[in-house]
Structure 1
């Protein structure tokens, strides 16, 4: 054998050996990406559940809470994975105790809970919100939306590792408000992954933050038609809208976000609309300054008959019952999480909706409460009615029909095979709370 051939074989051996070493390292590293920690405490109520952390290596702990449905054959029923996003109240409280979990915020059994018909998977995301904690103390280290999507993928793997029986159950990713941004990105990543279990069916978006600057262009029209402002107020809102639109066009998303979250104070102080709660336009308010994002928390506090505020309830009642350590403070780093999302929050996500419609077989279902000014319905239809994909003409040609239950009109709908939109009456941002009957009819149409 020639010296040249020997050298070549030795070189190939070294390369193959190194490659094998890298492969073994990668496989070992994959197992280290996350760890599932099942929480064991005294428990809450008598409804079966799993509460757990998905520990993301060197990042933090993603909290999730799963309730198997009480209906017959649970694994044949859909799993609804519920996300609220950075500015929204965490699902472990709002969706769970506030709107449709097995128990209300006084730990009383809820007779019309969605657990009667669906498997519920509440995930506190992004890291730093709810019970989901982060390792770093540095605000600049907080993960952005795409990094949180990777964490959510690991969380799903973690969920299926404990509940293999749901591997083939239908699953829908649900995003409320700016949770829709996580839901859309997660849907795209999940459709690309072949090693994560689940019979992925579609995305359900509630009052979504998809193209916030575009939706804002209809806010002045919306408020003037309702009589909250006059023509001067509409002109003032138009100026703010133009400023935000220009910032988004220039990709100055963080500055656009800072203007966007000033909507509540701007409208009440500069547009002549005294005491308007943008999340629920008919709620009566005082003229005290609102420190809340768009009025969601003030609405929750006014509606829910709670003995303590949300954080006290979750820290002092729920955390001990689940076996969560005292060092974890509920929603303790929300502001840091929001800071990490400022860079992309105002960036339009219409392209992600179109990507799903063009490149997958998933359905996209959108519902919107008619009393939500931030995600006002005329503004939502501005981007929905101009989506570019092969089924758009079919969607637009469908007749809008009436959503009726017990002779009461709960809303309206336009449905095509892949895209559906639901107008929900007498509801603001919190549609499942404001119109529980209407949203249950909508869910029944979506999953069946």
Structure 2
């Protein structure tokens, strides 16, 4: 633990430096004289729309809507994609790297989720991607702030898009986005129950989400050891980090716990020769890591899942920016928002298990999915926080039958599924942190099942 104590002051200094660099006006600020009111634009054929919504005075959230070309049904679902980080751009990563109509090479993506639903991407929290604030004091600082902004955005979005109010509305979240989505879902369901919700909220999917950080920290050591990445001595080193973080959390010192998490990630890299946190079968190279100047920048960027995305940055600030036509000249899309990440530093290690419990108690259709090769939000950690739920049906869920799923008849096993009441869990094979990128066929099939568009016959039985 001496190493942790000695490094904390050093890391604080790096954090402050990162924040100073990230809070320059060219990245996420705009003077009041250049303030843009809520505006929108779109393609001539009406298949895409995008714009800014002022979720608070001086806080401008960017969104991008794609309409599905499905013509065989009238009740096409609408999926809101919430990215992680905090500070990763859904408009960039989720859109061009995972489920949108085009790849980062601006070529058509066969596995786009537009084959199943309309897609809505947001750059959340404000300060992320093309979203911006007039003053850095307006950045969200915690989950409550971010949830309030998302609620404000959705209210305005559905006021403008009346035709989409009846569309089955689903939220799909990845990584840190799960913390936003779980609290947002509770707020929406409460409004639905009180008959004050004017759109058709149907469910939430949490994909490799950072719901309970401490459970992942405790899971990393045993998982890495099982993959021959570390030995028992290395496992003990990582265990001490997790215990130290837990001790700080129990005291309410969540900022200190975040600092220990940052130290722990560096220790993982040292012990494993730079294992890829997003795919246990791969290792990062020195060139992957050299793009970032400081240790903390590497840690933040890694959690934002932005390694090896230089081409995406060029695409977003080049042809995409030109196409959109409404991005202020002082706003630049970046690979990671250090400002947003730093603003959430004290909230980072807090969990939202209670919100997941409430989602289930409020009868929200909840899906959890996990890529088997993910480390950062590994399946073992996900199962650990799942077992902490106070949901009355948890024992029955644990006893439910787990069935295999296939992408094609006669193909290899692509996933396993377990379902009980309003909770469904998918174990996704051959996938790391970004499931739609690593196993696009299964991800698309899963979405069809979530939205009720698949005829898959899944056997469900109690123990």
Q: How high is the TM-score relative to the length of structure 1?
A: 0.84
- In structure 1, what is the equivalent of residue 249 of structure 2? 248
CA-CA distance at 1:333 after TM superposition:
7.7
- Give, in whole Å, the separation in 2 of the partners of 1:137 and 1:333: 16
- Give, in whole Å, the separation in 1 of the partners of 2:147 and 2:367: 20
Which of these residues, 137, 145, 148, is aligned with residue 146 of structure 2? 148
Query: Equivalent residues in 2 for 1:39-438 (5 A)?
Result: 39=41, 48-72=47-71, 76-87=75-86, 89-138=88-137, 142-193=140-191, 194-269=195-270, 272-287=271-286, 289=289, 291-293=298-300, 295=302, 301=308, 309-323=311-325, 324-331=327-334, 334-358=337-361, 360-406=362-408, 407-438=411-442
Seen in structure 2, the aligned counterparts of structure 1 residues 369 and 329 have a Cα distance that, compared at 3 Å, is: same
- Give, in whole Å, the separation in 2 of the partners of 1:295 and 1:64: 24
1:36–1:158 CA contact under 8 A, matched in 2: no
Q: Per-residue displacement from partner, 1:129-148 (whole Å, max 9, x unpaired)?
A: 0111111134x854432122
CA-CA distance at 1:215 after TM superposition:
2.2
Seen in structure 2, the aligned counterparts of structure 1 residues 182 and 249 have a Cα distance that, compared at 3 Å, is: same
SS in 2 for 1:121: strand
- Give, in whole Å, the separation in 2 of the partners of 1:333 and 1:420: 32
- Give, in whole Å, the separation in 2 of the partners of 1:253 and 1:296: 17
Seen in structure 2, the aligned counterparts of structure 1 residues 262 and 119 have a Cα distance that, compared at 3 Å, is: farther
**Higher mean C-alpha deviation, range 161-170 or range 120-129:** 161-170
Tell which has more relative contact order, 1 or 2 (C-alpha 8 A, sep 6+).
Answer: 2
1:93–1:314 CA contact under 8 A, matched in 2: yes
Seen in structure 2, the aligned counterparts of structure 1 residues 144 and 298 have a Cα distance that, compared at 3 Å, is: closer
SS in 2 for 1:259: helix
1:264–1:276 CA contact under 8 A, matched in 2: no
**Higher mean C-alpha deviation, range 287-296 or range 98-107:** 287-296
SS in 2 for 1:223: helix
Aligned residues: 403
- In structure 1, what is the equivalent of residue 6 of structure 2? none
SS in 2 for 1:313: helix
- Give, in whole Å, the separation in 2 of the partners of 1:278 and 1:342: 20
1:71–1:117 CA contact under 8 A, matched in 2: yes
Seen in structure 2, the aligned counterparts of structure 1 residues 409 and 349 have a Cα distance that, compared at 3 Å, is: same
**Higher mean C-alpha deviation, range 188-197 or range 103-112:** 188-197
- In structure 2, what is the equivalent of residue 17 of structure 1? none
Q: How high is the TM-score relative to the length of structure 2?
A: 0.82
Q: Per-residue displacement from partner, 1:368-391 (whole Å, max 9, x unpaired)?
A: 111111111112111213321122
Q: Per-residue displacement from partner, 1:86-122 (whole Å, max 9, x unpaired)?
A: 3363111111111121111122122221112111010
Seen in structure 2, the aligned counterparts of structure 1 residues 216 and 333 have a Cα distance that, compared at 3 Å, is: closer
2:372–2:432 CA contact under 8 A, matched in 1: yes
Structure 2 unaligned segments of length 5 or more: list them.
1-35, 291-297, 453-463
1:93–1:310 CA contact under 8 A, matched in 2: yes
- In structure 2, what is the equivalent of residue 8 of structure 1? none
Seen in structure 2, the aligned counterparts of structure 1 residues 212 and 394 have a Cα distance that, compared at 3 Å, is: same
Q: Per-residue displacement from partner, 1:46-82 (whole Å, max 9, x unpaired)?
A: 7811101111332311111111111126750211111
Seen in structure 2, the aligned counterparts of structure 1 residues 207 and 238 have a Cα distance that, compared at 3 Å, is: same
**Higher mean C-alpha deviation, range 185-194 or range 171-180:** 185-194
1:279–1:296 CA contact under 8 A, matched in 2: no
> RMSD of the TM alignment (CA)?
2.3
Larger Rg: 1
- Give, in whole Å, the separation in 2 of the partners of 1:424 and 1:410: 6
- In structure 1, what is the equivalent of residue 17 of structure 2? none
Structure 1 unaligned segments of length 5 or more: list them.
1-33
SS in 1 for 2:300: coil
**Higher mean C-alpha deviation, range 318-327 or range 170-179:** 318-327
Seen in structure 2, the aligned counterparts of structure 1 residues 273 and 163 have a Cα distance that, compared at 3 Å, is: same
1:79–1:121 CA contact under 8 A, matched in 2: yes
Seen in structure 2, the aligned counterparts of structure 1 residues 128 and 297 have a Cα distance that, compared at 3 Å, is: closer
